[in-house]
């Protein structure tokens, strides 16, 4: 049996130390956040008889929001993911679900449906909505830029378009506060859209 050379022993020892270091490197904790389905403020019950709206099933979102991570602005054009902070539900699912629920709270039960509508139900308007921007800045304030269109499915009335740029302070740059600010800014958007 041939004794190992000192350089081979050092290489083996360095390899073992490297592997041991990898084994004890802590993985960052993953925290999951959801957008609360409850309205951020109380509203009076709307009068009955609102016309039926069909919300297009998909709300257009920018590609940078099609991920699990909560992102914040990091300069003029750059965004960065908050390490370990994740959405519990994709925003492409959460945003239309919340907008539909909020619009129904504001307009009345049964007044907003997600397309396609049940058989026999006819919508007076189709609502299409696009979120152009939805992100927090370094201080935690959430910016929402959105556009929407209300169209007559029968084409009798010209479409009505609206847009809004909303900013909601979060109070701090903590992820939980940023998530709450996302919820409040989406509520404000629903209030604007509900007025037609």
- The residue extents of the domains of the chain are 31-194
Report how many helices (DSSP H) and strands (DSSP E) the chain contains, helices first.
3, 8
Hey, how many other C-beta atoms are within 10 angstroms of the C-beta on 126? 17
pLDDT, residue 4, reads 56
pLDDT of residue 77: 83
Q: Which residues of the chain have pLDDT under 50?
A: none
Question: For the chain, first and last CA: distance in Å?
Answer: 88
Check residue 23 and give its pLDDT: 53
In this prediction, residue 29 carries a pLDDT of 81
Q: What is the CATH number that goes with domain 31-194? A: 3.40.50.10610
pLDDT (0 to 100) of residue 76: 78
pLDDT at position 132 is: 95
């Amino acid at each position: 049996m041939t004794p190992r050379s000192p350089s081979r022993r050092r290489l083996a020892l360095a390899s073992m130390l490297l592997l041991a270091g990898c084994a004890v490197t802590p993985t960052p904790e993953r925290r999951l956040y959801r957008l609360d389905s409850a309205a951020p403020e109380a509203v009076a019950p709307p009068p009955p008889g609102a016309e039926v709206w069909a919300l297009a099933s998909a709300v257009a979102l920018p590609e940078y929001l099609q991920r699990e991570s909560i992102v914040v602005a990091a300069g003029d054009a750059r965004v960065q993911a908050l390490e370990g902070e994740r959405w519990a539900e994709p925003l492409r699912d959460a945003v239309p679900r919340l907008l539909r629920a909020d619009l129904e709270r504001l307009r009345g039960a049964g007044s907003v449906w997600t397309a396609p509508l049940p058989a026999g139900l006819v919508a007076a308007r189709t609502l299409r909505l696009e979120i152009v921007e939805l992100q927090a800045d370094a201080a935690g304030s959430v910016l929402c830029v959105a556009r929407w269109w209300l169209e007559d499915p029968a084409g009798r009335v010209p479409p009505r378009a609206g847009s809004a740029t909303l900013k909601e302070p979060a109070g701090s740059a903590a992820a939980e506060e940023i998530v709450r600010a996302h919820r409040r800014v989406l509520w404000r958007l629903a209030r604007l859209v509900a007025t037609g």
